[in-house]
Amino acid sequence: MEYKMIVLDLDGTLTNSDKVITPKTKEALMKVQALGKKVVLASGRPTQGVVHLAEELHLQDFGSYILSYNGGVIINCRTKEIVFSAMLPVEANQTIIRLSKEHQVDILTYEGETIITNNKDCPYGQLESRINGMELKEVEDIEAYVDFAVPKYLFLDDGDYLAMVEPKVKAALGKNFSVYRSEPFFLEILPRGIDKAQSLARLLEKTGLTREEMIACGDGYNDLSMIRYAGLGVAMENGVLPVRNAADYITLSNNNDGVAHVVEKFML
């Protein structure tokens, strides 16, 4: 099988522990694009947190795409056109925010290029702000403030506590929303049916490629759907156990140019 598209998660996959793309990985991805093959970035990050990495890889020059908000938004890098967008209904805001209060976790969401939170001192909210280069704005009454549609919410707490909270939130919201952890300390709530695999299906339809022609690389829980969906699902050596178990192939870690290894082995 000739693979014509490689889809990459960012944190823990494309970038190393310093959140940068290594020269070796960048070189491999530039080579593969020069052959006319697509590099697609698929992340739980908001769009603003993905764009600078897309530009570093010149996705705009090769007419490629980014999936942000775990597939809630698809953007054509060349034209900047929003190909697909899904938002949570406004009437869901109150239910979700009250659920965060019930479980005594911090919460954040997005307003344009700003992150809105109930607690600016939460280290996990600060991390989201820092990684994405977005202002973190604390609102005293977040329930009253968020009267508009948002792409997703994050519940924030340490991993052990969120592991206990997750099934309860799924029981309360799961029928109407997608609920899963992208990091141990991030519990994501998105519109129902939004995950990386479903958005990649939309993108494949647009590009005329098949899932068999696609490689997907990831390390986290939110990568499971695309790793199972792709013709070749690749887990990073540093990936969580369920991802490694689901993968067709396990590559080197994100600190050892695992993405470059995949490109060189399967695409060049």
The CA distance from 38 to 115, in Å, is: 31
Reported pTM: 0.90
| DSSP alpha helix (H) spans, 44-92 | 48-56
Percent of the chain with pLDDT over 70: 100
Residue 148 burial class via C-beta count within 10 angstroms: exposed 0-12, middle 13-18, buried 19 and up:
exposed
| Residues 6 or more apart in contact with residue 229 via CB below 8 angstroms | 196, 197, 200, 201, 211, 216
The CA distance from 122 to 137, in Å, is: 12
Amino acid symbol at 246: A
CA-to-CA separations, 79 to 38, 52, 64, 75, 199, in angstroms, rounded: 16, 16, 10, 8, 19
Give the chain's domains with CATH numbers. 5-85+194-266 (3.40.50.1000), 90-191 (3.30.1240.10)
Question: What does the mean pLDDT of the chain come to?
Answer: 96
User: What pLDDT was estimated at residue 193?
Assistant: 87
* Residue 249: strand, helix, or coil: strand
| Residues 6 or more apart in contact with residue 110 via CB below 8 angstroms | 46, 116, 134, 150, 151, 152
User: What pLDDT was estimated at residue 249?
Assistant: 98
User: What pLDDT was estimated at residue 90?
Assistant: 96
| Residues 6 or more apart in contact with residue 232 via CB below 8 angstroms | 1, 3, 214, 215, 216, 248, 249, 266
The CA distance from 104 to 75, in Å, is: 35
5-8 β-sheet, strand order: 82-85, 73-76, 65-68, 38-42, 5-8, 214-218, 232-235, 249-250
Q: Which pair of structure tokens corresponds to residue 242?
A: 């369920």
pLDDT digits (tens, 9 = 90+) for 115-148: 999 999 999 999 999 999 999 999 999 999 999 9
Q: How many CB atoms lie within 10 A of CB 115?
A: 24
* Residue 45: strand, helix, or coil: coil
pLDDT at 240 over 80: yes
The CA distance from 203 to 199, in Å, is: 6
Are the C-beta atoms of 122 and 156 separated by less than 8 Å?
A: yes
pLDDT digits (tens, 9 = 90+) for 144-180: 999 999 999 999 999 999 999 999 999 999 788 999 8
Greater confidence (131 vs 251) lies with 251
Q: Which pair of structure tokens corresponds to residue 249?
A: 């192939």
pLDDT digits (tens, 9 = 90+) for 69-96: 999 999 999 999 999 999 999 999 999 9
